[in-house]
Structure 1
Amino acid sequence: MEHKIQPLLNYISKYIVLSKKDEAVLMSKLIYRKYLKGQYIAQQGDVCKYECFVISGCTKMFFADEEGQEHIVMFSIEDWWTADMGSFITQTPADYNVQCIENTELVLFSYDVIEELYTEIPQLERFFRKIIEKAFVASQKRIVRSFSLSAKDRYLYFRNQYPKIEQRIPQYMIASYLGITKEFLSKIKGQLIIDQ
């Protein structure tokens, strides 16, 4: 189990120092799980059971409207987290779906386990606070970008900020994330080629 979740331990060590005893306690409470491409980790309307760390693979978080149209709000790849955090924290029905775009390996933290870990390894509370603060700031900045930047500038920001993601996901998903049609995204990309 330890070698499978080593990327998580490496990630945690960037924020806090865990003793070997703390690592053993942590590992005894985690769930390691593989998901196939297309499988759901969380579904709209159900309570989000897990906060997930991505060991390998890629996921998307999206809201499906009444017409079944997907509105993608986040992608997650290796060393990133994914969950409907509002649902997970409040243990109420999820607003978002979390689905695997590729075969994906995750470390899952259930709500009860996180609460236990806060008591047993107090510095983990600081760790989770720091990553939630980072996610909150990123979310606020994304809202500002969606209001203040043109579609072209939003795409350029996405491409520069997340170069490893663009190669791995279909264009229509990037368009959904940017809030534009895939045709408009193709037009933007074509214009950028001409401008070079």
Structure 2
Amino acid sequence: MSGESSHKLLLKQTVDAVHSLSEDDFEAFYALFKPFSAKRKEILTFAGTTERYLYFVIEGLQRMYYADENGREATLVFSYTGNFACILDSMLSQSPSKYYFETLSQSRFLRTTYQQIEDLFRTNPNIEMLLQKGLLGGFSGLLERLVELQSFTSEDKFRQLLKRSPHILQIVPHKYLANYIGIDASNFSKLINSVQI
């Protein structure tokens, strides 16, 4: 299978898991996307700028994070192969982001602009439904994450993360996992040893 056809199949599998499209509708959606590559530790969206793109991850690892005025960072979301990724609130509202979107490894994507998506969903109810269902799934995930942050111990947060993404330990550097959970990186190895995996 060629690179392009395997990327197309991966995108189709991800789309079908959200909302199945007819062949014509999927082809119209797929036609929006163009290949894009980024180096390791490249910031694709800076805080203060407006997100212009929706990315579909073909290869690599990325994170969305918040940085305060003292340079402290809070990792909010990881993305990797088979995920859509962007600073969603900035893209949908077309307003400046409060967050950064950064590659943690060399990454390859398919990407499209917000304007292209908006133009297509205005004329295609199935694409609009795909976006609505995708947003609903993202919103549900956000609510689950808020419950974790406010109610769970570090161990419980770690267990939930492993339950959602069992392979995460193999692809994300431990310092970023520690930051995501909200503990000091020096305590992360103790956490791994204390949690039954």
Normalising by structure 1, report the TM-score: 0.90
Unaligned runs of 5+ in 2: none
Deviation at 1:2, TM superposition (A): 4.7
Give the secondary structure class of the aligned counterpart of 1:55. strand
Deviation at 1:143, TM superposition (A): 0.5
1:47 matches 2:43: no
Superposition RMSD on alpha carbons, in Å?
1.8
1:144 matches 2:147: yes
1:84 matches 2:62: no
Q: Percent identity?
A: 22
State the alpha-carbon separation in 1 of the partners of residues 186 and 160 from structure 2.
Answer: 19
State the alpha-carbon separation in 2 of the partners of residues 29 and 156 from structure 1.
Answer: 37
Aligned length: 193
Aligned amino acid, residue 37 of structure 1: R
Residue 112 of structure 2 is matched in structure 1 by: 109
Normalising by structure 2, report the TM-score: 0.89
Q: Deviations over 1:117-162 (max 9, x none)?
A: 1134320110011111001000011101111111111112212221
1:178 matches 2:185: no
2:20 pairs, out of 16, 23, 26, with 16
Do the aligned residues in 1 keep the contact of 2:25 with 2:127 (CA within 8 Å)?
no
Q: Deviations over 1:83-122 (max 9, x none)?
A: 1111101111111111111111112121110111113432
State the alpha-carbon separation in 1 of the partners of residues 31 and 161 from structure 2.
Answer: 37
The runs of at least 4 aligned residues of structure 1 exceeding 6 Å deviation read none
Unaligned runs of 5+ in 1: none
2:170 pairs, out of 139, 150, 167, with 167
